[in-house]
Amino acid sequence: MITLHHLEDSRSQRILWMLEELGVEYEIHYYERDPETNLAPPELKAVHPLGKSPVIVDGDRTFAESAVILEYLARTYGGGDWAPEFGDPGYWTFQYWMHYGEASLMPPLLLKLVFSKLRQPPVPLLIRPISSKIADQVDRAFTDPQIATHFEYVDGFLTDHEWFGGSSISAADVQMSFPLEAARMRAVKAGQYPQIDAWLKRVHARPAYLRALEAGGEYAYGPDVDD
Measured between alpha carbons, how far is 122 from 110 in angstroms, rounded to an integer?
19
How far is it, in rounded angstroms, from Cα 227 to Cα 200? 8
All residues at 6 or more sequence positions from 93 whose CB lies less than 8 Å from its CB, including other chains? 164, 165, 166, 172
Which position has the higher pLDDT, 10 or 36? 10
- Domain 91-206 sits in CATH at 1.20.1050.10
- For 129-154, the pLDDT digits (tens) are 899 999 889 999 999 999 999 999 99
Least confidently predicted of 88-92, 122-126, 183-187, 214-218? 183-187
- 26-31 and 61-64 as β-strands: parallel, antiparallel, unpaired? unpaired
Query: Given a cut of 80, is residue 33 above it in pLDDT?
Result: yes
Please tell me the predicted confidence (pLDDT) of residue 224.
66
Same fold, 2-77 and 91-206: no
| DSSP summary character for residue 39 | P
Q: Which fold has domain 2-77?
A: Glutaredoxin (3.40.30)
* φ, ψ of residue 71 in degrees (nearest 5): -70, -40
Domain boundaries, the chain: 2-77, 91-206
Q: What is the pTM of this model?
A: 0.94
Q: 44-47 — which CB contacts under 8 Å span 24+ positions?
A: 44/5, 44/7, 47/5
